[in-house]
Amino acid sequence: MSQEGSSDWSEEQWRGKMLLRQLRLRCTVIMNLAQSLEDGGGFATVTPKALCRLIRHTANVLDRSLADTPHDQLANVNYFLCSIAQHLRFVERSRTVNTPWSMIQATEHFLRQQVGANSRFIIRPQWAHNYSLTGEFVEAYRTEIASMAWIDPKAWEESSAERPVDERVYCIAFPRVERLNALLHANWGHELGHIVAARWIHGRFGQLWNGEEPDMKARIRQTVEQGLGASMNQALFKDLIINQYVSEYTDSAMELARDGLTELICDAIGVHLLGPSALAACLEFSAGFSLDENPLRCDRYPPWRYRLRLMLEACQENEDFLEEEATTSPKAAVYPGETVAPFWEWLREAKRLVTQTPDLQMLHRDGMDNVSVREAYTLVENHWRRIRGEALDMLLGGAKRPYKLRERLTTIDDLVAKLENDIPPNEVDTWPDSSPAAFEDIINAAWVFKARKLAQDPEWGCPKDLERLYRLVLKAIEASFVHSVFGPRLARLDKP
C-alpha cells in the first residue's frame, strides 16, 4: 500500500508484475509434476493418482484465472498454490516401495468400511516418528476456491469423471522406521478417528463453543485483570489492550479444547474399532515420552496419561479386565483364559499409570499463564461423556458396535495357535471349513501373542523374533483380504 515518490509506481503494481510471472510458471510446473507423478505409477491403490488429478485441475483453474486476479490477492493465490504443491509429496511417498504394501489395500478397505465408500486413503511413511492424518483435501480446496471472488466456482466444480469431486481424500502417515510393525499400526484406528472427530468438530463444536464462550471470557477477564493489577491504570486504550489479552487467552482455550477433544475422540474411536490393541499400541508408543506435559508445550495435544486414562475407561467398559486378577479369580478359569491372560496383565500396567494424577494437577493449576489450559480442560471434562457418545454415533451402521475381544476368544485362540507355529493367522478353522480372519482379530491376536511370549520367555523379543511376528501378521492381513474379496468371486466361477 505504500507509495514511493512517483505517482505511477506502487508496491502493489511491483508485486503484481513480479508475482504474476512467477505464478504462471508455478501453475505450469505443478500441473506437470502432478501429471508425471500420476504417469509414473507404482501405487498400491488408485487414490494417489486421484489426488494428482485434483491438484492438477486446481492449479489449472488458478492458472486460467490469473489474468482476472486482483493484484492485492496474488500473495494469497501464491500461498494456496504452494500449499497444494506440498500435497504432492504425499503421492510421491506412497509408492509401494515405501509402504507395507501387503496391508495397504486391506487397510484402505477396512477404513472405508468404517467411514463410507466415498472416502479414499493415501497411506505413506514419514521420517518423523509419529502417526498423522491429513485431510480432507477436496472440501478444503473447494472452500479456498469459493473464497476467491474473481473465480467462478463452476470452473472448479465442473464435472470430470476422472477427478474426485464427491469423494473425500485423506492421507495417513506412519513412522518410516515402523514400516513392518503391523502391531503398532493399530494406531491407524486413531487416525481414522480423525475423520469422525472432524465431523463432530465441524458439526457440533461451534455450538458448544458458542454456549461456553461468554462465561469463559468473563472468568478469563477476571484472571487477566488480577494478573495485570495496577500496571494498566494509566494506559491509553486500556480496555482495548485488556480485550487483546482476554481474546488471546480465550482463543488459546478454544484451540486447546478443540484440539484436545479431537485427539480424545480419535482415541475413543481407536478403542471402539480395534479394542485393546489400540490401548496397547498407545501404551507402547507413549512409553518413550513424558506422560504429563502441558498441552501448550506440545502442539495442544492432551497429556499421554490423560489419554491413556480415557482409553482405559473405554476398554474397561467392553472388556472387564481390570476388576480381578486373571490367575486368582474363579472367573479366570473361563475368562480371559490362558491365552489372553498375559495380555490382560500387560494392559493392567496402564491402570497403575493412570491412578497417579500429575497430569490433572498440571491441567488445573491456577495462574494467568495456565488460564487457557484450565478453562479448556474444564470444558472437556464437563462434556466428555456426551461428546464421546455423539462421536461414536457418527460411525457407520456396522461399525457402531464396539470390538470386544472377550467375545472373540475362540477365534483369538485359533489365530494365536497359528502364530505359535509360524503360520500366518489369516484364517480361522481348517480348510475347507475355513473363513478369512477379520483385520481386527488379526491385530488383537498379534498383541495377545506378543504379551504371551514376553511372559513365557524373558529372552523372547529380540529384533529377529519381532520381525518374524510382523511379517507373519502382514502376510496374514494380505491373505485374509485376498480371501475375503476374491474368494466369493472364485467360488461363483467354480459353480457349474
Partner 1 sequence: MADLLQTARLFEVGTRLQTAAANLMSVAQGGKPDSNALKWAGDFLLRVDWNSNAMPKGGVDGGLAVSATSARPKFYASLVRIGPKLGQVGIRSEEQVYDFLRSIYGFLQSGGSQVLDLSADHFKLASEFLHILSQSIMVDLSNNGLPRRRSVLALGEFVA
Total residues at the site for partner 1 (CB under 8 A)?
Answer: 64
Using CB under 8 A, pick the residue from 10, 76, 98, 294 that binds partner 1: 76
Cβ(145)–Cβ(151) below 8 Å: yes
Q: In 3-state terms, what secondary structure has residue 404?
A: coil
At its nearest, how many Å lie between partner 1 and the CB of residue 209? 6
Please report which helix (H) or strand (E) contains residue 126, including its range: strand 119-126
| Cβ distance to partner 1 smaller for residue 148 or 271 | 148
Question: Whole-angstrom Cα distance, residue 485 to residue 106?
Answer: 10
Position among 101, 121, 137, 343 found at the interface with partner 1 (CB under 8 A): 137
Q: Looking at beta carbons only, is 14 or 79 nearer to partner 1?
A: 79
Shorter beta-carbon distance to partner 1: residue 113 or 132 = 132
Give the nearer residue to partner 1 in terms of CB position, either 2 or 328. Answer: 2
Contacts (Cβ under 8 Å, ≥6 apart) of 206:
none
Give the closest residue to 365 by CA, choosing from 458, 314, 409, 303: 303
User: Does residue 95 interact with partner 1 by CB under 8 A?
Assistant: no
Segment contacting partner 1 by CB under 8 A, of 83-91, 320-328, 336-344, 488-496: 83-91
Smallest gap, in angstroms, from Cβ of residue 247 to partner 1? 4
Q: Does 205 participate in binding partner 1 (rule CB under 8 A)?
A: yes
The nearer residue to partner 1, 8 or 323, going by C-beta atoms, is: 8
Q: Is 111 in the site for partner 1 (CB under 8 A)?
A: no
Residue carrying C-alpha cell 487416525? 191
Binding span for partner 1 by CB under 8 A among 20-28, 54-62, 199-207, 400-408: 199-207
User: What does R_g of the chain's alpha carbons equal in angstroms?
Assistant: 26
Establish if 327 lies at the interface with partner 1 (CB under 8 A): no
d(CA 335, CA 405): 11
Helix axes 439-456, 276-286, angle to 10 degrees: 60
Selected from 60, 105, 113, 213, the binder of partner 1 by CB under 8 A is 213
CB of 268 to partner 1, least distance (A): 15
Cα–Cα distance measured from residue 232 to residue 239, given in angstroms and rounded to the nearest whole number: 9
C-beta of 143 vs 327, nearer to partner 1: 143
Classify residue 334 as exposed, middle or buried by CB count within 10 Å of its CB (0-12, 13-18, 19+).
Answer: exposed
Question: Which of 306/447 has CB closer to partner 1?
Answer: 306
Q: Which of these ranges, 51-59, 195-203, 345-353, 487-495, lies near partner 1 under the rule CB under 8 A?
A: 195-203
Give the dihedral of Cα atoms 10, 14, 17, 22; nearest 10 deg: -150
Is residue 86 part of the contact set for partner 1 (CB under 8 A)? yes
**Separation between Cα atoms, residue 29 and residue 89, nearest integer Å:** 14
From residue 232 to residue 251, the character string flagging contacts with partner 1 as x (rule: CB under 8 A) and all else as - is ----xxxxxx-xx--xx-xx
**Alpha carbons 447 and 469: distance in angstroms, whole number:** 10
Site for partner 1 contains 255 (CB under 8 A): yes
**Nearest CA-CA partner of 315 in 354, 285, 288, 286:** 354
Phi and psi dihedrals of 3, rounded to 5?
Answer: -105, 145
C-alpha grid cell, residue 464: 529377529
Using CB under 8 A as the binding rule, whether residue 97 contacts partner 1 is answered as no
Of 217, 364, 383, 404, the one binding partner 1 by CB under 8 A: 217
7 binds partner 1 (CB under 8 A): no
Can you point out the beta strands (E) in 286-387? Answer: none
CB of 114 to partner 1, least distance (A): 16
Cα dihedral angle (461, 462, 466, 471), rounded to 10 degrees?
A: -150
Cis peptide leading into residue 402 (ω within 30°):
no
Selection from 466, 429, 422, 462 nearest residue 447 by Cα = 466
| DSSP three-state, residue 32 | helix
Nearer to partner 1, 108 or 144 (CB): 144
Q: To the nearest whole angstrom, how small is the minimum distance from the Cβ of residue 275 to partner 1?
A: 22
- 72 vs 349 by CB, closer to partner 1: 72
Q: For residue 126, state whether it binds partner 1 (rule: CB under 8 A).
A: yes
> Nearer to partner 1 by C-beta: 72 or 158?
72
Are 145 and 58 contacting, i.e. CB atoms less than 8 angstroms apart? yes
Look at the chain and count its residues. Answer: 496
Least separation in angstroms between residue 193's CB and partner 1 is 9
- Per-residue binding letters, 292-311, with partner 1 (x by CB under 8 A): --------------------
Q: Residues 150 to 189: which contact partner 1 by CB under 8 A?
A: none
Pairing of strands 435-436, 427-428: antiparallel
10 DSSP assignment: B
By the rule CB under 8 A, 149 interacts with partner 1: yes
**Between residue 35 and residue 74, which ones bind partner 1 under the rule CB under 8 A?**
70, 72-73
All cell numbers assigned to 147: 473464497
Interface ranges with partner 1 (CB under 8 A): 1, 70, 72-73, 75-76, 79-80, 82-83, 86, 89, 126-130, 132-137, 139-141, 143-144, 146-149, 191, 194, 197-198, 201-202, 204-210, 213, 217, 236-241, 243-244, 247-248, 250-251, 254-255, 258, 262, 266
